Structures are given as structure tokens and as C-alpha cells.
Structure 1
Amino acid sequence: MHNGLDVLDPDSRRGRIYRLLISHPGAPARLLAAQAGLSEAVVLAVLEELAAEGIAVTTGPEPRCWEALSPLQVVETLLQREAARQAELRRTGAELERLYRFARRDAGHYGALEVVQGNAQVLTVVRRLQTAARRQVRVIDMPPYSGPPDHYPVQETLQRERMAAGVVYRVIYHGSAFDDPIAGPNMARMIEAGEQARTLHEPPMKLALGDDDLAVITLAADDRPGAIALLIHPSSLFRALSNVFETLWNLAVPASAAGVDTRIDARDRQILTLMASGATDDAIARRLGLGRRTVVRRVSALVSGLGATTRFQAGVQAARRGWL
């Protein structure tokens, strides 16, 4: 699966072929395949995908030649699609809010929905969800960060026990977690312990899902201090929440323990800016008057430190942290 953004990633197959198409206007699939080191059938399949997405066009009868659309036009189209996905997530959140308010008027029950009130009761429910999970726990963690002083140590102990038992933890953190004096170090320790973590600038809700059995949405109480939790049991609503999580997971950027305390100087900011524009290591070295080995070493350190797997993801992560 891909979300369209990979066409800008030079490390992806689609990104490689799109870049070749930019530098070889009007080229047949055979030529592009030779340049990419791929079979003509594979390249042709990718070109057909790009054409269907409005990223490339064919320029004549057989043998067909191919032309890339303007990168600026492609980027604008991809940004519009991502904005549409985010708008859909916000509409989902609004629907959940309506369900929440309806459930409270109906004495705490609405089909597969149950309401739990009070900070202590909410924490108990979330811990019970983790204890009962046998395969995976999926979490969206976002401010406000609340709970008694021993909450994080207790949670860390429980999570380590569950991961040791084979339960996979996938967690999406709010971007501000990097700067929180408590949540940030906790995130680093859990990543080091084996948690799969990603960050997203503005997640729409605080959510936990245990296997396919229970979901818990945590909300601030409207008319009193403390929190309220919505417990959602297996249902179409549960499946919708599961799909929301997976969509957000695909939009989020991988985090790493090394990336939590990363700082950046002016030279690295220049390197990241050029990386984000698609410049190669050689081009960066020439532009900044640096040795190629220095650039390769710094690019590798930046990609690793940002918890990214590709140069493109590193650029996205750096932009989300306000470094670009």
C-alpha cells in the first residue's frame, strides 16, 4: 500500500521512476526500465499507476512514450489529498463526539458504548485493556497528560510485562510529546524497550485499542474536573475507530529514542533543507562547500536521529518539528 507521497521519495520504486521520468521527457518504458534496473513490465505497471493518479501521461500511440507532470502541480495535488484525509478524520471525531453526548444523556449506555467517569476509573479501564490484550495494543497518546505521580512508572512496568509476553505496542504520539518533561523521556524508554512509535502533529483523539475486543476514548469532562472514558465493544463503531487508527498510523512519522533529544545546528538545517528539496549528497556537498563523505555521514546521522527510514521521511519529521 502507498499513500501517494512516496512518489516524492527517491528511495521508493515509484519515486525513482518518477524522477527518471522528469529527467527523461518523452521516454518509452523500455528506456526507463534500463535506467532503473527494473523489468519493463514492472516499470510499465508503475507508470500506469502514476497515470491513473494524474502524475504522468502517455504521449502517443504504440510504442507509448511517457511524460511527467510538473512536480509543483503534483505536490499541490498530494497536499490537497492529504488535507482531504485529515478533514475526513475530523468529521469522524465530530461523529464520535455526538455519540459521546448522546450516550451521557442515555444514562451511560448506547449499544456497544459504555461511559466511565473519573480519572482513577479511566486509568483502571485502560490498564485492564492492556492486561487483556493477547496480540497488540494500539494507542494514540496526546495532551493533556494527567494522572497520579506514579502513573508513568506503573504504566511502564505494565507495558514492559505485556511486551515481554509477546504483545505488540503501536503508539502514535502528539508532536509535543518530544518537549514534555515527563512524556518525552517515557516515550524514549518505551521505544528502547521495543515499542513501535510514530508522531503526528495533531491527532484528533486520545484512544487505546486492545486487540479487536475493546476501544477506549478518553475525553476531558465538560462540566467538572477529571476525565471521561468511552468504552466501545466489538461493533461497526469499533471497526471505524480501528480504521481511523490505521489511517493515522500511515500518516504519522516514525519516532526513535535517539530522535527524542536531537538538536540541530545551522549546518544540519541547511543539509535538511536541501535534502527536503530532493538534492543528492553530491549536490549538497557542492552547494555547501563540504566533502562528500561529510555530507553522507551527516545525512545518515540526521535520518537515524529523526527516527526516519528514508530521506523523505526525515524531511517530513524535521518540518513537523519546526526545523525547516
Structure 2
Amino acid sequence: MTEWCEEGGRLYASALRTGRIARAEVESAPCLVEFDLLHPDPDDPDWLRPVPPVIALSRQLGPLENEIAQRRRLAVDLAETFQPFMAMGTHTASGDSITVLEGGERINAALNLATAQCQAELLTVQPSDRVSERSLLRSLERDKPLIDRGVKVRSLYQHTARYNPEKLAYVARLSEGKVEYRTIDELVERLIICDETVAFIPARDDQQIALELRHPGLVRYLIKVFEYLWDRAVPMSTGAPYEAASDGITEIQHSIAKLLVEGHVDEAIARRLGMNVRTCRAHIAKLASALGSGSRAQLGYLIAQSGILQQDH
């Protein structure tokens, strides 16, 4: 398929503005024909008229949506094919219950298979600084069939997700039915658990190696970790984490105060809380203003003296 060309974009925009374009002008932009963006002018064969963008986009998306649907059906068929063998593998040696997955393609294939087999509940932990728009869309594609089947989904994000438009759009699209989203100040690593039988965790910081865990003891332990975080998290629908308490300090600023007292620098605090350094420093400035601090050294002292870290937030 011909790739989209810059010249084609310019000519298509011109055709949309004027209502038509000379046939001779578009010879240098074959992508216009490939993408079916022009059609002959019935009144003059030397001219072409533009196809409305909405119609053109629909024509291009149709085959892609069909391909996605076919791959989803293939994943379900594969899961059904292997289902009879799953019970046979429940008593394998402990070394076989931990699989090392290397490369994004293999990791995603394993995740797709596990979620295709998921029947009851999917648990996920998604640290804010590790979830890009691309991975969100991939998660949406993977989770949607689960939700359509009635599988319950619970996902944990960091509080900073509330300021991320991609995440909010993702939540809005999947907020109906058996789906719950909560946020918490700190999350260490990504975690995915399907039906209390299989869990996935990263094994390297670049996310190119993951571990698929099927050992019952390990999976139970990770579920307990998830539930511990879930009980302390706040539903995405509330604004509590960023609302000021009676002392004028927000929950996220309490988290920053704790890390400041522990001696962490701005970059480390931002990384721990899933925000950029500029946002972190803005919160530190607000914290300093609320406590009446005139310097960084004085801020640490005032945090320790104020007693805010001993309060229950």
C-alpha cells in the first residue's frame, strides 16, 4: 500500500477548500488515488472532486477493524484449543511455572493469550510514568473483549493519572459495567493478574523482558499485594487526592513531604510519584508556601516540626 505523502496532503487540502482540483495536478501524488480521496467530476473529466474526510477515513478504517476482529477471534480460538491441556499443566515442576518472555511481541502475545482465557477478573497495576498513549490503546484493544464477556476489571494508577488526558479518555471509554479504576500516590512496577492463575511482571526497566508466573504461591502473594494497594487507593471518580485537607496540604503534597524528609531529590520524588520534575517542584513550592518556608533546608525542618506526617490522610 502506498504511504501517505506530504504533497498529497497539500493537494487534498487545496481540493477541499476549492471543491475540486485539476487531474493533471495530482499526478505527482499517487497516494491520493491509493487512499481514494478524489473522484472524477461528472461535469468535466479534466477535474477531480474531493471525497469528504469522514467518508475517506471510514473507508480506510474498515479493513483495519476487520483485521482486528479476525485476530481477536483467532486469539479466542487458540485459547479454546489449548484449554483442555491447561489442567494437565497444573502440576508441573516449579521451574516450569516461571516463563521468561523477551521482546515486546512475545510479551504481548502471552498477555493476549492470558486475557483471552480470562473468565472472572483481571487485575492491573499501571505506574503513571510507564503508560504511554500507545500502550493505553493496546490495553483498550485487549480489555474490551473481556469487558464485553462480563469479566470484572480492576486497575490501579497513580494520582497523576488524573491529569493525563489519554488515561482519562481510556477510563471514560471503559467506565461502564464491571470496571473499577482507583489511584494511589506511589506504585513500584507494572502488574497484571488474570483469574488468580497467571501474573505478569517486568524483569527489566526497559520493559523488554517480563516474567509470566503460574506458581500458585507467587500469584496468591501478588494478589495480596494488589489488594493491599487497592484498599488504600481512591476511586478515579473522586477528586480527593488533590483537594486540600484542613491543614491546607493535599494528599499528593503529603506524599512529597514524606519523601523530602527521607532525603530524596526532586528527580527521584517525581519518578516515584509518576510526575514530571516541573510538576513536582510546583507542588514543593505550594508546600513551602503553606508551611511558611523560605528555603529548602527550612522546609525539611518545618515538615518535621509540623507533625503533618503523623496525621492520618
TM-score, structure 1 length as denominator?
0.43
TM-score, structure 2 length as denominator?
0.45
